[in-house]
């Protein structure tokens, strides 16, 4: 895979994750923060403090800004 395309796809995924966690933490406050794939036995997760979720949202948006093109091609 072309490295530029890979960076763009990862940036898009980071933006989408930040968007949906933004919606969740805004509506519900503390929510489970899942950053890896889980096996079925791990599906029941505890809540993560909202401050940690906001920090992850900021990190995801920073990553997206660094890897997405400034304009659509």
Q: State pLDDT tens for residues 30-72.
A: 999 999 999 999 999 999 999 999 999 999 999 999 999 887 6
pLDDT computed for residue 71 by the predictor: 77
In sequence order, what are the beta bridge partners of 31?
48
Query: What pLDDT shows up at residue 1?
Result: 86
Q: What pLDDT, on a 0 to 100 scale, did the predictor assign at position 73?
A: 59
pLDDT of residue 72: 66
Rounded Cα–Cα distance for residues 55 and 59 (Å): 6
- Average confidence (pLDDT) over 5-32: 96
């Amino acid at each position: 895979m072309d490295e530029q395309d890979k960076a763009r796809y990862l940036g898009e995924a980071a933006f989408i994750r930040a968007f949906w966690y933004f919606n969740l933490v805004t509506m519900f406050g503390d929510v489970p923060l899942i950053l890896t794939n889980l096996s079925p036995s791990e599906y029941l997760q505890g809540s993560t403090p909202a401050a940690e979720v906001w920090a992850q949202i900021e990190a995801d948006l920073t990553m997206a800004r660094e890897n997405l093109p400034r304009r659509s091609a």
